[in-house]
Amino acid sequence: MIIIKRFFIYFSAVLLVAACSSKNKNIEPWLEHAILASEEQLLLAAEAFADSAKNPRTYEHGAVELVTYNDWTSGFFPGSLWYMYELTGNDKLKEAAERATGFIEKAQYRTNTHDLGFIIYCSFGNGYRITGNEHYRDVMEQGALSLMKRYNSRIGLIKSWDPHVGPWQFPVIIDNMMNLEFLYEVGKLTGNQGMMNAAVSHADKTLANHFRPDNSCVHVVEYDSITGEVISRETHQGYKHESSWARGQAWALYGYTMMYRLTRKQAYLEQAQKVADFILQHPRLPEDKVPYWDFDAPGIPDEPRDASAAAIIASALLELNGYVSEDKFYSNEAIVILKNLSSEKYLAKPGENGLFILKHSTGNWPKNSEIDAPLSYADYYYVEALTRIIRMNRTE
C-alpha cells in the first residue's frame, strides 16, 4: 500500500509540475526536479504528521521533533505547504496547509516571544494571501497586537528575549528583523500606523547598532532598559562575539531587502547590498556557496555547513536583484546556491531525511543542538526561493 500511495503522490506531482512547466517555458531540469522532490516530500510529511496536532521542526538522533505553537519554528511547515500549494495547485497540499496552520492558532495570544512573524506570518500570512480567508486575517491582527506588547516606544525596539534566556536587560537579536514584515503588513492592512512606525523604528535602530565596519552583523545587542543606550554586542549562537554567524548574516540580508520593499527607504537597500557583498565576497564562502555555520569557525573547511543560511540568502538575493541590478548578478548568485542545494548532496530523496527536504543545516552549534540536521526553516526558505524563481520566469 505504501508503494502504491507513493506512486500516486509522485504521478500527481509529475502532472502538476508538467503543467507548471508549460506555463514557464524556461524552467530548467534542476528546478523541475527540485519542485517534484519537494512536493512529494511535503505530501509524505503531511500524511505522516496529520494526527499529531504538531508540526515538524527537525530530525535528530533518528527521530522527528514535533512542536506546538509554543515553538518559534512551528509556522514554517505550514508555510512550506502553502507555498507549494501556490506553486502547484495541488489541493492535497492546501488541505494539509490548512490543517497544519490550524495547529498553531493559539500563538496569536503569545506575548512572551518576538517570533510571531515566523510563527503566524509564514503560516496564516501565506494562507491569507493565497486564499483570502478572513479568519486568517483575524488571527494575524491579534498576533500583531500581541507582538506590539514587546515594543518599547522609549527605546524604539522590539524586545527579543525575556530574562529566562540570558542575563540581558533589553536584548535585540538580528533574527528579529524577520518579524517586522508581519507587523508592518498587518499595520497597513488594518490602518494601524503605530505598528508600521514600530517596524521602521526597529529597523533603523538595528541598522545603527548591529553592524560592524565590514558590514557583518553581531547576533545580540543589549540595550539599557531605561536609557536605551547600547550595553554590549555579543553572540548567542555564533562561534564568538566577534565572529560572523552565517544565519545571522542571512537574516540581515533578508530583513533589509524586505524592509526596502515595504518602505522604499534607500538606507535599507544600501545595507542589503552591503550585507550581500560581505557574504558573496567572503574568502571563506565555500565554492558551492553553502556557508559554514559561522564564517569564522576555527575548523574550516571541516566545520558543519548551514543549508538554512544558504536558502535564506538565496531567497533574499532573488528579491534584491529586482531592486538593484539589470545584469542579474544577485539572482544568478542565488540560482547557483539553489542549484547546489538541489543536488544530491543537500536535497533529500523523498521518504528519507525524516521527511524534510534539505539536509546539512546547523541549528545551534554552541549548544550542540541540530548539528548537520534538517530544519523546517531551511525547507521553508528553499521552497520560497523556488516559488520566486517561478514568478521571475512568469514575468520575463
Residues annotated as catalytic (active site), given as ranges:
115, 175
Residue 209 CA to residue 233 CA, distance in Å, equals 9
Residue 234, burial from CB neighbour count under 10 angstroms (0-12, 13-18, 19+): middle
Single out the residue of 363, 356, 321, 359 nearest to residue 341, CA to CA: 359
Nearest in space to 333 (alpha carbons), one of 276, 393, 256: 276
- Expressed in angstroms, the distance from the first to the final Cα of the chain is 43
DSSP sequence for 85-118: HHHH--HHHHHHHHHHHHTTGGGGG--S-STHII
Q: Does 171 sit behind a cis peptide bond, omega within 30 degrees of 0 on the bond before it?
A: no
User: Cα(333)–Cα(68) distance, rounded to whole angstroms?
Assistant: 36
- Grid cell at residue 348: 533529500
Strand 170-173 to 63-67 pairing: unpaired
CA distance 291 to 37: 23
Cβ(373)–Cβ(57) under 8 Å? no
Measure the CA–CA gap between 101 and 46, rounded to whole angstroms: 12
Nearest to 74 by CA among 40, 113, 43, 101: 101
Which one-letter amino acid corresponds to residue 95? Answer: E
Cell triple for 29: 531540469
Q: How far is the C-alpha of 121 from the C-alpha of 107, rounded, in Å?
A: 11
Nearest-angstrom CA–CA distance, 150 and 195 = 12
